[in-house]
């Protein structure tokens, strides 16, 4: 509630004093009953205001009515009597009011609500507006409000805005197109050429927006995008070499979310394909090396690099670098990094168990970790790392954990693993 109070203070010139007092009262409530009493009183006031004709309300009153309504709904109370005002406000000529109308509609109206269909014509008109702010507002609304039945009306307008001269509109249009595709993949399957073209957009924000929908398309049909492997590698190389504007940096890491999305795309394109993987090796190694800077967002990129290295056609040097990076994760005091390290090592062990051998001592130490999730992940990893040399230690640790745990599912899982390992790697007939 403190955050809300700060926002209210910042926007005090737009909202009334009584609204600030309402937020303060909600924040200072000691019990749920006290909060409910405040909201019920507020709903009575809203119903009284609802009876006032919209034409008699000021710009601020129209907007504040919906903001108050959102608060009531957000705290679990029914304010459906005011939904029609949200729909009405989306047609307001004032951009600020229009945005609040769309916001309230997206938060309060369920996908099946009849009022949603009343918004189709308004959104369609706003998408065609020469006012860039209105067009941007409408594109944002499409991602939140559009349903499958609205696609025939909205798709042509959204597609047209992908060619708009203003980069912000183009990037929002691409994101809106992704939402329409999520609602009905067949509706946009004829627009693959357009998705390819936005990848080459001169504005980095539009290119970045296109990676989300392209990632979905690549996962569905990798072979159709193999010819662009070199392009994805080239883009990743430019990002890693810091050729994008500084505004894309996060903690001095160049465009980390673009890097991660490109790595996921390359992981799919390089799977079981030596030719495509050959193009990826160099940039992947560079990306992993430059991201290992000791900050969280850098670790996230390193993790994606490891996942990509284990997904594409294997390269011994690259996997060795990945295993080294994972070793630092596992030995970290940070629980999240340790979890990532155990998970990543499990991916490497599947195909290259020898690379995990040098981390065996550190992995065994993870069994002493107080975090239950890390313990379970470590047990699963140890089962994969087992060989003729370490079967005794791994089995002993597993039996010790079996004695201590009371989780029935885990007990069954451990017994199954222990018997399998004993059968496969038994050092003597006594086993």
What the block records as the tokens of 411 is 């007990």
Structure tokens at 247: 């505004």
Q: How sure is the predictor about 13, in pLDDT bands with cuts at 50, 70 and 90?
A: low
Query: 53 by DSSP, 3-state: which?
Result: coil
Instruction: Give domain status of residue 56, yes or no.
Output: yes
pLDDT in tens, 272-327: 999 999 999 999 999 999 998 888 999 999 999 999 999 999 898 998 888 888 88
And the tokens for 176? Answer: 């809106």
Is 46 in contact with 24 (CB distance < 8 Å)? Answer: no
Percent of the chain with pLDDT over 90: 66
pLDDT in tens, 58-98: 878 888 999 999 999 999 999 999 999 999 999 999 999 99
DSSP 356: G
Q: Give CA–CA dist 208/369, Å, rounded.
A: 39
Count the domains in the chain.
Answer: 2
pLDDT of 139 over the 70 cut: yes
Please classify residue 39 by burial: count the beta carbons closer than 10 Å to its beta carbon, then call 0-12 exposed, 13-18 middle and 19+ buried: buried
User: How far is it, in rounded angstroms, from Cα 156 to Cα 160?
Assistant: 6
- 310, 347 contact by CB (below 8 A): yes
Distance CA 29, CA 90 (A): 33
Q: Which whole-number Å values give the CA distances from 229 to 96, 193, 203, 279, in the listed order? A: 43, 16, 20, 8
Q: Give yes or no for a contact between 255 and 221, defined as CB atoms under 8 angstroms apart.
A: no
The pair of three-digit structure tokens given for residue 191, joined into one six-digit string: 């627009």
pLDDT of residue 279: 96
Q: What is the mean pLDDT of residues 130-158?
A: 96
Q: What is the pTM of this model?
A: 0.85
Tokens in use for 255?
A: 């465009």
The pLDDT, as a whole number, for residue 7 is: 41
Q: What is the pLDDT of residue 327?
A: 82
- Checking if the pLDDT of 399 tops 50, the result is yes
Average pLDDT, the chain: 90
Q: Which residues form the domain of 427?
A: 346-431
pLDDT reported for residue 166: 96
Asked if residue 329 is part of any domain, the answer here is no
Give tens-digit pLDDT for 192-238: 999 999 999 999 999 999 999 999 999 999 999 999 999 999 999 99
Query: pLDDT-based confidence at 14, cuts 50/70/90?
Result: low
**Could you say which of 82, 109, 136 is where a domain stops?**
109
Q: Is 198 exposed, middle or buried (0-12, 13-18, 19+ CB in 10 A)?
A: buried
Give yes or no for a contact between 46 and 62, defined as CB atoms under 8 angstroms apart. Answer: no
Q: Which two tokens stand for residue 55?
A: 């034409």
**Between residues 176 and 343, which one has the greater pLDDT?**
176
- pLDDT for residue 4 is more than 70: no
CA-based nearest residue to 333, from 370, 364, 361: 370
Which of 76, 16, 74 is closest to 49 using CA atoms?
16
Q: Look at 164-168, 180-184, 364-368 and tell me which has the smallest mean pLDDT.
A: 364-368
Residue whose entry in the numeric block shows the structure tokens 């029914």: 78
What is the per-residue pLDDT for 15?
Answer: 66
For the segment 329-346, the average pLDDT, to the nearest whole number, is 88
Which residue pairs from 147-152 have beta carbons closer than 8 angstroms and sit at least 24 positions apart in sequence? 147/111, 147/116, 147/117, 147/183, 148/183, 148/184, 149/117, 150/117, 150/120, 150/123, 151/180, 151/183, 151/184, 151/187, 152/187
Count Cβ atoms within 10 A of the Cβ of residue 2 and give its class: 0-12 exposed, 13-18 middle, 19 or more buried.
exposed
220 by DSSP, 3-state: which? helix
Per-residue confidence (pLDDT) for residue 120, from 0 to 100: 94
Per-residue confidence (pLDDT) for residue 9, from 0 to 100: 41
Return the pLDDT at 2: 40
| Residues 65, 56 contacting (CB under 8 angstroms) | no
Distance CA 319, CA 321 (A): 5
Q: What is the pLDDT of residue 427?
A: 82
pLDDT at 11: 44
φ, ψ at 54 (rounded to 5°): -60, -35
CA angle 398, 399, 403 (to 5 degrees): 120
| Token pair 């269909």 in the structure block, residue | 117
The answer as to whether 124 is a domain residue is no
Tens digit of pLDDT for each residue in 402-428? 898 888 998 999 999 999 988 888 888
The answer to whether position 26 is within a domain reads yes
Domain limit, last residue, from 57, 78, 109: 109
Give the model's pLDDT for residue 361. Answer: 83
Picking from 47, 76, 109, the residue at the C-terminal end of a domain is 109
Q: Is residue 126 part of a domain?
A: no
Give exposure, 90-115, as e/b (b: 16+ Cβ within 10 Å).
bebeeeebbbbbbbbbbebbeeeeee
Instruction: Kindly state whether residue 335 falls inside one of the protein's structural domains.
Output: no
59 within some domain: yes
Phi, psi (5° rounding) for residue 30?
Answer: -90, -25
CA atoms within 13 A on the CB side of 295: 10
Q: Residue 99: inside a domain, yes or no?
A: yes
- Mean pLDDT for 134-154 is 96
């Amino acid at each position: 509630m403190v955050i809300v109070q700060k926002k209210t203070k910042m926007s005090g010139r737009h909202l009334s004093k009584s609204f600030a007092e309402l937020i303060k009262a909600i924040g200072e409530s000691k019990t749920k009953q006290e909060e409910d009493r405040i909201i019920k009183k507020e709903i009575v006031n809203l119903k009284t205001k609802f009876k006032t004709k919209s034409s008699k309300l000021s710009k601020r009153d129209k907007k504040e009515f919906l903001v108050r309504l959102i608060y009531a709904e957000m705290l679990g109370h029914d304010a459906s009597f005011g939904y029609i005002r949200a729909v009405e406000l989306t047609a307001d000529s004032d951009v600020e009011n229009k945005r609040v109308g769309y916001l309230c509609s997206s938060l309060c109206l369920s996908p099946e609500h009849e009022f949603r269909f009343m918004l189709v014509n308004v959104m369609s008109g706003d998408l065609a507006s020469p006012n860039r702010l209105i067009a941007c507002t409408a594109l944002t609304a499409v991602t939140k409000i559009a349903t499958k039945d609205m696609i025939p009306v909205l798709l042509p307008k959204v597609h047209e805005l992908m060619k708009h001269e203003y980069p912000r509109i183009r990037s929002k249009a691409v994101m809106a197109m992704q939402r329409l595709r999520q609602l009905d993949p067949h509706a946009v399957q004829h627009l693959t050429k357009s998705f390819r073209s936005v990848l080459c957009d001169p504005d980095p924000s539009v290119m970045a927006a296109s990676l989300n929908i392209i990632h979905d398309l690549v996962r569905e049909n990798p072979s159709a995008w193999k010819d662009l492997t070199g392009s994805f590698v080239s883009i990743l190389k430019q990002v890693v070499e810091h050729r994008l504007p500084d505004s894309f940096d996060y903690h001095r890491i160049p465009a980390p979310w673009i890097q991660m999305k490109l790595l996921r795309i390359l992981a799919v394109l390089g799977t079981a394909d030596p030719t495509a993987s050959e193009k990826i090796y160099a940039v992947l190694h560079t990306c992993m090396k430059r991201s290992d800077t000791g900050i969280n967002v850098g670790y996230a990129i390193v993790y994606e690099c490891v996942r990509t290295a284990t997904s594409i056609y294997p390269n011994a040097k690259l996997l060795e670098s990945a295993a080294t990076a994972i070793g630092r994760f596992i030995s970290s005091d940070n629980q999240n990094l340790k979890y990532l390290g155990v998970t990543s090592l499990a991916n490497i062990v599947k195909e290259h168990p020898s690379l995990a051998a040098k981390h065996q001592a550190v992995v065994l130490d993870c069994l002493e970790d107080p975090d239950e999730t890390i313990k379970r992940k470590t047990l699963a990893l140890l089962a994969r790392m087992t060989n003729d040399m370490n079967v005794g230690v791994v089995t002993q640790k597993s039996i010790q954990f079996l004695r201590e745990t009371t989780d029935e599912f885990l007990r069954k899982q451990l017994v199954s693993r222990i018997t399998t390992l004993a059968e496969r790697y038994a050092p003597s007939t006594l086993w």
